[in-house]
Amino acid sequence: MDKLGDWLNSVPLFGIAGISFAVGTLYGKGLPCLEWETLIAGCLGLGGGAFALVAMKSQITANERAREAEINREETLNNDHYYAMIAESADHLRSFAVTTLRTIETDEWYNQSLIKGIKDILVGIPIPSPPLTVHADIRNTAYGMIFTQSKIASILTEVEKDMPTVIKTREANNNISVAPPPLLIEELLTMESFGIFIISEIDEITRSQDT
C-alpha cells in the first residue's frame, strides 16, 4: 500500500512533465496563435497546484502516522495499567485459594461463620474485566478467574444453605467429620493455577518491555 501511495503521489509530477514537454514542443514549432505568457503562467499554476496536492497528501500521511503512534502509546499505557490491576487481583486470589485449601483440610472447616467469612473475602477481591487490547492468554485467563470466583461463591453458598441439615445428621452420627465438596477443592486449585499463570505472564511481559 505504501508503494501504491508513493506512485499516486508522483502522478501530478508526471502530469507537469507532460505539460511542460507539450509546451516546449509547441514553442519549438513557433505557433503564432498561442499566447506563450498565458500558457506558461497556466502551466506554472498547474505545477503549483500539483506540488500543493503532493504536500497535502504528505501532511495527511504524517498526521495519520502520528495519530496511529498516539493510539498505540495510549493502548500500551492502558494495557500496563490493567496488567498492574489484574496482577494484584491474581496474587490475592492465589493466596485465597491456598489458604482456603489448607483450612478445609481440617475438621474445623465446617463452621457457618468460617464459611461466611471465606465467602466474604472471596467476593471482596475485585477482578477487572480485560480490554480487548491485552494479550489473549491474559484476557482469557482473567475471564476464567471471574467465572471461577463466581462458581466458588456459589458452592460456598450451597454449603451454607445445607449446613443446618448436615449438622443435625452429623450430631445423630456421633459428630462424624464432613468432607469438603470435591468440586470446591477442584475450583480452588483452578483459581490457584490461574493466579500463578497471570503473575508469570505479566512478569514476562514486563521483562520484555524493559529490554
Q: What is the mean pLDDT of residues 37-58?
A: 66
Q: pLDDT band at 42, cuts 50/70/90?
A: low
Residue 107, pLDDT score: 75
Q: CA of 171: how far to CAs of 19, 40, 110, 164, 165, in Å?
A: 105, 110, 13, 11, 10
Residues 128 and 89 sit within 8 Å (Cβ to Cβ): yes
Cell (9 digits) for 195: 493466579
Query: How far apart (Å, rounded) are the C-alpha atoms in residues 158 and 31?
Result: 102
Query: How far apart (Å, rounded) are the C-alpha atoms in residues 55 and 61?
Result: 10
Alpha helices in the chain (DSSP H): 2-29, 36-103, 112-123, 136-172, 182-210
Residue that the C-alpha cell 498561442 belongs to: 34
Q: Is the pLDDT of residue 8 over 50?
A: no
What would the pLDDT profile of 99-154 be if each residue is shown by its tens digit?
A: 999 999 887 888 889 999 999 999 999 999 999 999 999 999 999 999 999 999 99
Q: pLDDT band at 28, cuts 50/70/90?
A: very low
Residues 157 and 184 sit within 8 Å (Cβ to Cβ): no
Query: How far apart (Å, rounded) are the C-alpha atoms in residues 177 and 74?
Result: 56
Question: Residue 17 is which amino acid?
Answer: A
Residues 6+ apart with CB under 8 A from 13: 50, 54
**Domain with 144 in it:** 2-210
Number of structural domains (the chain) is: 1
pTM for this predicted structure: 0.68
Of the candidates 92, 76, 206, 193, which has an alpha carbon nearest to the alpha carbon of residue 144? 193
